[in-house]
Amino acid sequence: MPSESTSELALIEANPSLRPNPKASRVAIRRCMAAWNRAYDAFMEKRKGNNIDKMFATAQAGPAYCQAMPPLDDYESIRSFIACVAHGILIEAIPQKRANQLLYAAQIALAGLHFEPKAPKSA
């Protein structure tokens, strides 16, 4: 069994509409990568293309990647956000210190879902 936290499992079991949608995460990662590529290409367009230029282009593209990440407003977008952060770490678009901050923000947002007001019961 996957090592998901019991609170996350309880949240999913309480609301079947929260079932994971891997397609949403893939779409979010593609959007982040497109932003990264646009920023990288825009920087490289004016440069010679040597290794130093590539290093600076990569540094310029990281913030664009982060700006394209989904907002932390519901369960599915939080999952997509986490997928984008993980992918950003793997491709080195997000520095480790920033990744820690982003993952903590996602953790807080996920915990906050437990405290959303419930719809009033009809009489």
Q: Which of 41, 42, 33 is nearest to 69 (CA)?
A: 33
pLDDT at 1: 41
The residue assigned the tokens 């540094």 is 59
CA gap 101, 40 in Å, rounded: 23
Q: CA 5 → CA 2, 67, 84, 122, distances in Å?
A: 9, 28, 20, 32
Report residue 92 as tokens: 């080195």
User: What pLDDT was estimated at residue 87?
Assistant: 96
User: In the chain, which stretches have pLDDT less than 70?
Assistant: 1-22, 116-118, 122-123
- The Cα–Cα gap between 54 and 60 comes to 10
pLDDT tens per residue, range 1-20: 444 555 555 555 555 555 55
For residue 22, the number of C-alpha atoms closer than 13 Å in the C-beta half-sphere is 0
Q: What is the pLDDT of residue 47?
A: 84
Domain ranges of the chain: 20-115
> pTM value?
0.74
User: Token pair for residue 72?
Assistant: 């932390």
What pLDDT is recorded for position 123?
58
Percentage of the chain modeled with pLDDT above 70? 77
